[in-house]
Structures are given as C-alpha cells and as structure tokens.
C-alpha cells in the first residue's frame, strides 16, 4: 500500500511537470516581450536553467508590478512546487517501504 501512495505522489510530480511545460514557457515569452531587464537577468535558455527555476520558486517575478506576469508565473511556481514535493514524498515513501519490507 505504501508503494501505491509513492506512485500516486510520482503521478502528481508528472502532472506538475505537464503544467510547468505549459506555463513556464509562456512566462518566459511574457518576460521577453514586456520585461527585457528581467529576461536579461535570467539569461538565454532559461527554461531548464537552475538559477531561473530558483528565481521562479522564490517568487522573483513579484518585483515587477505586472498582473499578467503574475498570472502566468504563479501557476508555473505552483507546478514546480508540486514537482518537488511529489518527488520528495515519493522518495520518502519508497525508502519507508524498503526499510519495513
């Protein structure tokens, strides 16, 4: 049963990845078009850059008073959080299942 819940957590991480693939590129395009100074700070190829993902996770987009940017970046941030929490929970449950099997 524990491994089943680990798989459920893994499926949540996959769903979060799907949402991130949708919202993160839209956020980056919005930054490129309307906030070139923020986009320059993130650099090119920011989609998979750890520093850009950390910027998203810590809410760095809030420094620009743009509701459009916030409307795109917030779901991307939530999906990144779901990925991390889902992978962490799946790992903990898998270790628990291995330890007590």
The DSSP output letter for 84 is H
Q: Rounded to whole angstroms, what are the CA distances from 22 to 18, 37, 63, 70, 73?
A: 7, 23, 22, 15, 11
pLDDT in tens, the chain (101 residues): 999 999 999 999 999 999 999 999 999 999 999 999 999 999 988 999 999 999 999 999 999 999 999 999 999 999 999 999 999 999 999 999 999 87
Give the integer Cα–Cα distance in Å for 81 and 13: 9
């Amino acid at each position: 049963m524990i491994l089943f819940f680990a798989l459920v957590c893994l499926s949540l991480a996959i769903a979060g990845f799907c949402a991130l693939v949708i919202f993160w590129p839209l956020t980056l395009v919005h930054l490129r078009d309307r906030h070139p100074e923020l986009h320059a700070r993130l650099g090119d190829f920011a989609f998979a850059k750890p520093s850009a993902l950390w910027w998203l996770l810590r809410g760095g987009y809030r420094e620009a008073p743009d509701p459009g940017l916030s409307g795109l970046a917030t779901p991307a941030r939530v999906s990144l959080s779901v990925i991390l929490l889902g992978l962490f929970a799946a790992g903990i449950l898998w270790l628990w299942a291995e330890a007590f099997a």
